[in-house]
């Protein structure tokens, strides 16, 4: 099954700092860390492929249950409403909230389903020691869809919904919700057990006597590493021979793209915070609330922990992300390698926390789908909901377009002036 598709199967370059390594022969349960920046490069699950297979099968069963069964029940002023996940999407679309319906449908329903199906498909073949047909497509789809799966963020949103609506209505979480929780747990464990980069390692054969490394960093040695499967190629190669991804020594126009996206997100931050995110009509009375207004209301109600969570997710994290990305771009623009370890850690934090800002968007979407009771009470998203959702998605793209390897690059004059420094961590 294994493929040997490049003259350099024995080498591996860290995707964060570009340091070259000899490809390790890992046993089950072992991971390989970058000796320069400490980044987790590749690993082998201690339970082999059986555990991720069982987890993804359980996640698929839970997903089907969560879709088919009712999710939440609302009682308000003698009116009752039961909402399932698909009916929430339909309801949002029917009430002209197309963008929110698309976010809920894609990020909470389709992304987890696609990642579960891709994982199951690949594992069915890999468990039999066979190369999966069309494996390039399915591995890439698995990498992409697991990035956009935001079901874990949605669980926090449900907690906020319960706290916000506790004085307005009686809310009952039904079987669909508990199946959804089980799906989130199984899929997170499956993701942790089988990162996409680790799947590719099954397909790469390295020789038992690896050749010595030609240099310390891939670019300096005239090599380029595939960011999807880790296979190292000559710098003249345009596409990865294993996974067909485009090869770039550094992401093209990385700083320009990150700058454009960060500026767009920064502009959207103002309408997202100044305009109402949610409009409630209760017995004819119209109440508009902004993000910060919602936080203050939660605080005044005495639900301090939820107020702090919403403040961090909706106000602090987006702003901190914009500042952090601007700082990282400034470091690269200055062209000097100062504190690259700390800057790399900062970049990883930005990557991890980004999606948690979607909490408020999902809260508004859930309340809007739940509370559509005609003249009695309705909740609709304000203009800020669209601006905020767009801002979060744009900052996710901004973090993705940034190339952390540039933090480790130096100007040619600096390269000659200093001996390269090395700090082993593994
Ligand atoms: Zn590294
Ligand atoms: Zn590749």
Listed residues: CB within 5 A of ion ligand 2: 226, 228-229, 240, 242-243, 245
Which two three-digit tokens encode residue 393? 């998605």
How big is the chain, counted in residues? Answer: 426
Number of the ligand closest to the Cα of 341:
1
Low-confidence residues of the chain: pLDDT under 70: 1-6, 202-203, 205-210, 212, 411-426
CA distance 335 to 349: 22
Q: What is the pLDDT of residue 208?
A: 58
What is the residue-wise DSSP string for 107-155?
IIIIHHHHHHHHHHHHHHHHTTT-PPTTHHHHHHHHHHHHHH--HHHHH
For residue 170, the CA-to-ligand 1 centroid distance in Å is 52
Distance 105 CA to ligand 2 centre (A): 30
For ligand 1, the distance from its centroid to the CA atom of residue 64, given in whole angstroms, is 40
The answer to whether residue 170 sits within a structural domain is no
Q: Do 89 and 106 contact (CB within 8 A), yes or no? A: no
How many other C-beta atoms can be found within 10 angstroms of the C-beta atom of residue 39?
19
Instruction: Give distance in angstroms: CA of 162 to centre of ligand 1.
Output: 43
In a domain, 394, yes or no: yes
Q: In sequence order, what DSSP letters do the residues of 258-324 get, joined into one string? A: HHHHHHHHHHHHHHHHHS-SEEEEETTEEEEE-HHHHHHHHHHHT-HHHHHHHHIIIIIHHHHHHHH
**Alpha-carbon span 241 to 34, nearest angstrom:** 24
Give yes or no for a contact between 328 and 343, defined as CB atoms under 8 angstroms apart.
Answer: yes
Q: 18 CA to middle of ligand 1, Å?
A: 6
* Distance from the alpha carbon of residue 123 to the mean position of ligand 1, in angstroms: 29
pLDDT, residue 114, reads 95
Nearest ligand to the CA of 217 is 1
The whole-number pLDDT of residue 130 equals 79
Q: What integer pLDDT is reported at residue 394 of this predicted model? A: 94
If you measure from the C-alpha of residue 395 to the centroid of ligand 1, how many angstroms do you get, rounded to a whole number? 24
Q: Which residue has the tokens 């000097």?
A: 336
Q: What is the CATH number of the domain that holds 278?
A: 1.20.140
Alpha helices in 166-253 (DSSP H): 175-193, 196-201
Cα 425 to middle of ligand 1, angstroms: 10
Ligand nearest the Cα atom of residue 228 = 2
DSSP string covering 11-29: EEE-TTT-BEEEPP-PPTT
Q: How close are the terminal C-alpha atoms of the chain, in Å? A: 31
pLDDT at 420: 45
Q: How far is the CA of 195 from the centre of ligand 2 (A)?
A: 15
Q: What is the pLDDT of residue 414?
A: 56
CA of 421 to the centre of ligand 1 (A): 13
Ligand in nearest proximity to the CA of 242: 2
- Domain span at 373: 253-412
* Proximal ligand: closest to the CA of 35: 1
Q: Counting ligands in written order, which one lies closest to the CA of residue 139? A: 2
d(CA 7, CA 11): 10
Distance 36 CA to ligand 1 centre (A): 5
User: Encoding tokens for residue 173?
Assistant: 């979480």
pLDDT recorded at residue 415: 54
Does a structural domain hold residue 83?
no
The total domain count for the chain is 1
Ligand 1 centre and the CA of 16: distance in Å? 5
Kindly state whether residue 56 falls inside one of the protein's structural domains.
no
**Nearest ligand atom owner, CA of 233:** 2
pLDDT score recorded for residue 205: 64
pLDDT of residue 182: 96
Residue 24 domain-assigned (yes or no): no
Q: CA-to-CA distance for 268 and 264, rounded, in angstroms? A: 6
State the CB neighbour count (10 A cutoff) for residue 286: 9
In a domain, 95, yes or no: no
How far away, in angstroms, is 279 Cα from ligand 2 center?
A: 47
Q: Give the integer Cα–Cα distance in Å for 305 and 100.
A: 26
- Closest ligand to C-alpha of residue 408 is 1
> Cα(119) to centroid of ligand 2, in Å?
18
- Is residue 262 assigned to a domain? yes
354 belongs to a structural domain: yes
* Number of the ligand closest to the Cα of 245: 2
- Among all bound ligands, the one having the nearest atom to the CA of 17 is 1
């Amino acid at each position: 099954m294994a493929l040997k598709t490049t003259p350099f199967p024995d080498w591996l370059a860290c995707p964060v700092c570009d340091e070259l390594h000899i490809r390790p022969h890992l046993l089950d349960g072992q991971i390989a860390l970058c000796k320069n920046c400490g980044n987790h490069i590749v690993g082998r699950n201690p339970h082999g492929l059986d555990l991720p297979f069982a987890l993804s099968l359980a996640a698929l069963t839970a997903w089907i249950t969560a879709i088919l069964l009712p999710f939440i029940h609302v009682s308000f002023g003698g009116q009752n409403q039961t909402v399932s996940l698909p009916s929430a999407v339909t309801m949002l679309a029917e009430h002209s909230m197309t963008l929110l319906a698309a976010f809920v449908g894609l990020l909470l329903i389709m992304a987890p389903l696609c990642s579960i199906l891709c994982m199951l498909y690949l594992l069915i073949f890999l468990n039999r020691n066979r190369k999966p047909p069309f494996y390039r497509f399915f591995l890439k789809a698995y990498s992409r869809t697991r990035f956009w799966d935001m079901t874990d963020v949605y669980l926090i949103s449900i907690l906020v919904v319960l706290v916000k609506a506790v004085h307005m209505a009686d809310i009952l979480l039904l079987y669909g919700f508990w199946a959804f929780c089980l799906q989130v747990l199984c899929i997170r464990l499956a993701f942790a057990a089988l990162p996409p980069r680790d799947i590719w390692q099954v397909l790469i054969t390295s020789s038992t006597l690896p050749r010595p490394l030609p240099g310390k960093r891939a670019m300096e040695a005239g090599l380029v590493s595939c960011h999807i499967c880790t296979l190292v190629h000559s710098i003249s190669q345009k596409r990865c021979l294993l996974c067909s991804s485009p090869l770039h020594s550094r992401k093209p126009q990385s700083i320009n793209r990150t700058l454009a996206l960060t500026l767009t997100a920064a502009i959207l931050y103002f309408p997202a915070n100044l305009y109402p995110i949610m409009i409630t009509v209760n017995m004819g009375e119209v109440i508009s609330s902004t993000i910060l207004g919602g936080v203050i209301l939660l605080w005044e109600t005495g639900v301090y922990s939820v107020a702090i969570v919403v403040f961090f997710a909706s106000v602090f994290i987006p702003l901190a992300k914009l500042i952090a990305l601007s700082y990282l771009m400034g470091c690269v623009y200055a062209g000097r390698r100062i504190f690259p370890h700390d800057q790399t850690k900062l970049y990883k934090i930005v990557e991890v926390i980004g999606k948690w800002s979607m909490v408020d968007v999902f809260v508004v979407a859930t309340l809007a789908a739940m509370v559509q009771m005609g003249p009695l009470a309705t909740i609709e998203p304000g203009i800020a909901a669209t601006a905020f959702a767009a801002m979060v998605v744009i900052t996710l793209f901004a973090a993705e377009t940034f190339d952390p390897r540039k933090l480790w690059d130096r100007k040619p004059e600096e390269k000659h002036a200093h001996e390269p420094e090395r700090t082993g961590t593994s």
